[in-house]
Amino acid sequence: MFTAQLKMMFREKQVWFWNIFFPIILMVLFMIIFGGNGSSSTFKATIAVADPVPNASSGMLLSQLGQIPVFEMKEENPITLEQGREWVENKDIDALIVLPETEGVSEVGLIVNREREGSATTQAISGILERFIQQANLAAVGATATYTISMDSITSASEDTNYQDFLMTGMIGLSLAQGGLFGMVDLVDMRKRGLLKRLRMTPAKMGLFGLAGMIVRLMLGIIQVVILGLIGVFAFGANLHINFASLAVAFFIGSLVFNAMGYLFSSFSKTMEAYMGVANISSMLMMFLSGVFFPLESLPEWLQPVPKMLPLTYFVDGLRDGLIYANGVMSSSFWLGMGIMAMWGVVCFLLGSQIYRSKSIAATR
């Protein structure tokens, strides 16, 4: 069975695209979109300043705003309020700062595009401006700040670990999961062409046939990990701190689990379109709810219980334990995640085998 599945894989040229080249394309795109190019680029925001009624207070604020390094002025001199609003509406600038019209106690206006009101850039501009106003208020009364903030970051991983590593390992987990979810579509094609009907008339067991396919894709997954890991390290500057024991356990269990899910999808899908629909729904649901791109804590509180029920959550966590955190296999949380994943795999494989077994030979096609 294993030899037959291996020959089938090598004969299908599309397998090499969807299991090798497509994950590479997907990872590169998402690493560029979410992670940048690996350099420590500085945040910048393009702004303009309107000074409707120039006065001593607005002049002082204007000179101080020009000293904030993260603000890039579209125009060095103040512009009219109408011109600034037009630039904001056309998204030519990220924000318009309106200086106070009177001296003394007054307010500084901030105008942003409503479509970008919830963006990270707008939130950053608002926070920087608020801190700037607080410092200006202290300077106006001749006071100095009593308390300041000193920020540092720590991690359970090595000190050189960064977001690039977090994203790369998430993308590796996603690629392996998709390889399993979409990898059993050939069984649906075999059913469509009547090959499963012929196979059912032989002494071959469908459970062993499906298990052989899973093992072949397990080998293909090893190739994926190596290639994607090398791309992450050499193209995006990711750092790896490998613990081979935890990596092997997470990879082996996770790969079999998602292949078992694909095997289950193939058992009840009558057409390739139906199979791809179910696989796409499952992939999209887990892609954004399993901590692939960002920590689960950033999800809304009412949504956070959902990732705890998804196998990709524990698969990605397990791969990160083995690739960047190097925690080893002594962690109880690691084995809890592996256990939940294994339950998914066992249930999916048994259900798929039962559905295949329960179908009559005539109904196989």
CA 223 to chain CA centroid, Å, is 21
Strands (E), the chain: 45-50, 71-73, 95-98, 109-111
- Quote the pLDDT of residue 105: 61
Q: Which fold has domain 45-140?
A: abc type-2 transporter like fold (3.40.1710)
3-state secondary structure (DSSP) of residue 75: coil
> CA–CA separation, 33 vs 352, rounded Å?
37
- The answer to pTM > 0.85 is no
> CA–CA separation, 269 vs 359, rounded Å?
13
Count of all residues that appear for the chain in the document: 365
- Quote the pLDDT of residue 155: 61
- Quote the pLDDT of residue 324: 84
- Quote the pLDDT of residue 261: 93
Which amino acid is located at 317 in the chain?
D
DSSP 146-180: S---------SS-TT--HHHHHHHHHHHHHHHHHH
- Quote the pLDDT of residue 39: 44
Q: CB atoms < 10 A from the CB of 37, how many?
A: 11
- Quote the pLDDT of residue 6: 81
> CA–CA separation, 161 vs 206, rounded Å?
45
> CA–CA separation, 70 vs 76, rounded Å?
15
Q: Which residues of the chain have pLDDT under 70?
A: 12-16, 18, 34-42, 104-106, 144-160, 326, 360-365
- Name beta bridge partners: 304: none
Domain ranges of the chain: 2-37+158-358, 45-140
> CA–CA separation, 181 vs 174, rounded Å?
10
